[in-house]
Amino acid sequence: MLKDRSCGELRASDEGQIVTLAGWVHRRRDHGGLIFIDLRDHDGLAQVVFNPQEATGAHSVAEELRGEYVLQVKGAVARRREGTENPNLPTGDIEVHAQEATILNPSKTPPFYITEDQEVEELLRLRYRYLDLRRERMHKNIVTRHNVLRFIREFLSERGFTEIETPILTAPTPEGARDYVVPSRVNPGRFYALPQSPQQFKQLLMVAGFERYFQIAHCMRDEDLRADRQPEHVQLDLEVSFVSEEEDIFQLAEELYSSLVMGLFPEFRIQEMPFPRMTFAESVRRFGSDKPDLRYGLELADFAPALQNTDFQVFKNVMSSGGAIRGIAVPGGASWSRKQVDDLTSFVQQYGAKGLVSIQIGGEGDMSALTIDDVKSPVAKFFAAEEVREMASLAGAGRGDMLLMVADKPTASNRALDALRRELASRLELADPDTLAFCFLTDVPLFEWSETEERWTPAHHPFTSPHVEDIPLMDTDPGKVRSHAYDLVCNGWELFSGSIRIHRREVQLKVFDMLGIGLEEAQRKFGHMLEAFEYGAPPHAGIGAGIDRLMAILTREPDIREVIAFPKTKSQGDPMTGAPSAISPEQLAELHIEVKLAEESAQA
């Protein structure tokens, strides 16, 4: 090797050793005579001193050095002079007195500072990702990710799991997104789909008798991107046979996540052990969301019971048409300014709310003495003191607080109230950054009604088992059929979803039928699954657990791109490689493909 020690590992105990280091010039300081270089490698930084008297040749090499030059240096480890130690650096007690130095490769001036964690435009970072990844925070994130994956692999291997890879070129497997497809050259007009998940294969591995499978799997889904989404994400895909109930999976998951946190991230506190369980319906009712952040309260209140005789026409209309008046009590909100409240109104409007009604409860003394003069609200004149008192009590509010309310159909207002709740928590700094609030969500419905497609769609995926006692409801009230699907949420993110699977052909056919997939189509698309179920498929269940999201939480990053080595931009491109790119006419011809662009995309 061109090095025998790494920069970051040197300590005072190495004093007197002659070492050969190689790395990148992180910083160079010329003190007119002595030249100091911070040399950086994968493990950290070491200070190297070039003295023109002691090592003339090495010193003249150092004169040529610029940031990011690749340097090999041989020298003696020495303690730093008293008073010049750097307690912020693990190697801060020592320096290396250079004897010989060789430039292994020069470097152009990087387009942004590697040495500082300053804001750099996203496109530039991704265009030069190999430089971006040299930066300390990013480098650390990627190493931390490796440590997490290694922990997971060891944890599962010790528990009898087998890691098995499944194909990337495959047939479509539905997870609710569009497929990325790959044309087949040797089968003209035919396409592979990239897996939205290894769902079918892992179930088939259960039929194949492996009993406990896992894989760190890439899943490709063509959908609109957000902070927690990428065209391809990595998940811990896992499946277990002979599971009798959700609890079997929950116990495994709880042990995995809690031992991971305690082992590698002891700076976090797990809010509640065992992880609490909540039904999907309860989560939506209390938080307007199926991924609630449970580090703080701000639960949604239903104000309808206090408003049975309201004079406020807007509320009356909403309630008589099946809508709800729900909202949140903001502690200390009575003193918020008009502008602060108006800002929140525009905020919730972005999430589809028509408006936000605010009631600020001022005055002093017991709530029983509340008069309408104590209340500040643009619609105060429609309320009696008694109603405000009741609403406050429903939301757990008192004097000094504020009620914020959205009037709409519950499903329509959930999005706005969920966003409002998160926004309030951030303004009030209620979410403890050192706490992890895990929670299992259970009883996810089997089907969701899609307004746009006007049909039932799977809430999870079509291989999810219904509750057996709910099967008759499929014919009468499909929306009421509970499934054996579940999620794990943490701090407002969905960390995994999974389910107990269907393992009987007739149940699978029934679910396909409900989803509008007739016998012929089921046979064509999923015949292999239906057939496999006839050869002794064991009862089985599993999860697909997002690794990128988990890493974002554990590294406290707001965006999963900060924990992925080579992510895509929001428009699904990779500015470094130029993907996706056009291909040559010859390649197209070979693939039997003719490209016809719509006019606007051709111009773009």
Residues that bind ligand ASP (CB under 6 A): 175, 197, 199, 219, 461, 497-499, 542-544
Q: In whole angstroms, what is the distance from residue 585 CA to residue 578 CA?
A: 18
Are 445 and 360 within 8 A, CB to CB?
Answer: no
Q: How far is CA 397 from CA 109, 265, 334, 356, 393, in A?
A: 58, 37, 11, 17, 6
Closest CB to ligand ASP among 25 and 541? 541
In whole angstroms, how close is the CB of 466 to ligand ASP at the nearest point?
Answer: 15
* Closest separation in Å from C-beta 540 to ligand ASP: 10
Nearest CB to ligand ASP, comparing residues 196 and 358: 196
Measured from the CB atom, is 8 or 542 closer to ligand ASP? Answer: 542
| Other CB atoms within 10 A of residue 554 CB | 21
Number of residues assigned to the chain: 604
**DSSP alpha helix (H) spans, 428-518:** 473-476, 505-514
In the complex, the smallest distance separating the C-beta of residue 495 from ligand ASP, rounded to whole angstroms, is: 11
If you write DSSP's letter for every residue of 309-374 in order, what string do you get? T---HHHHHHHHTT-EEEEEEETTGGG--HHHHHHHHHHHHHTT-S--EEEEE--SS-GGG--GGG
User: Residue 336 or 512: which CB sits closer to ligand ASP?
Assistant: 512
Residue 316 or 525: which CB sits closer to ligand ASP?
Answer: 525
Q: What gap in Å lies between CA 347 and CA 364, rounded to an integer?
A: 31
- Which residue, 421 or 461, is less far from ligand ASP as judged by CB? 461
Among 183, 174, 291, which residue's Cα sits nearest to residue 222? 174
The distance of closest approach from Cβ of residue 463 to ligand ASP in the complex, given in angstroms and rounded to an integer, is 7
What is the closest distance, in whole angstroms, from the C-beta atom of residue 488 to ligand ASP in the complex? Answer: 11
For residue 304, the 8-state DSSP code is: G
When CB distances to ligand ASP are compared, the closest residue is 544
Nearer to ligand ASP, 173 or 310 (CB): 173
d(CA 364, CA 384): 18
Closer CB to ligand ASP, 171 or 576, in the complex: 171
Question: CB of residue 542 vs ligand ASP: minimum separation in angstroms?
Answer: 4
What is the closest distance, in whole angstroms, from the C-beta atom of residue 197 to ligand ASP in the complex?
Answer: 3
The helices-and-strands tally (H runs, E runs) of the chain is 17, 24
- Output the smallest distance, CB 327 to ligand ASP, in A: 32
Q: Exposed, middle or buried: residue 544 (CB in 10 Å: 0-12, 13-18, 19+)?
A: buried
Nearest to ligand ASP of 44, 462 (CB atom):
462
Q: Among 75, 54, 62, which Cα is nearest to 3's?
A: 75
Closer Cβ to ligand ASP, 358 or 497, answer by number = 497
Cβ neighbors of 532 (< 8 A, separation 6 or more) are 203, 204, 207
Tokens of 303: 């104000």
Nearest-approach distance from CB 213 to ligand ASP, in angstroms: 11
Distances (CA, A) of 457 to 63, 512, 515: 67, 10, 6
| 72's tokens | 């090999």
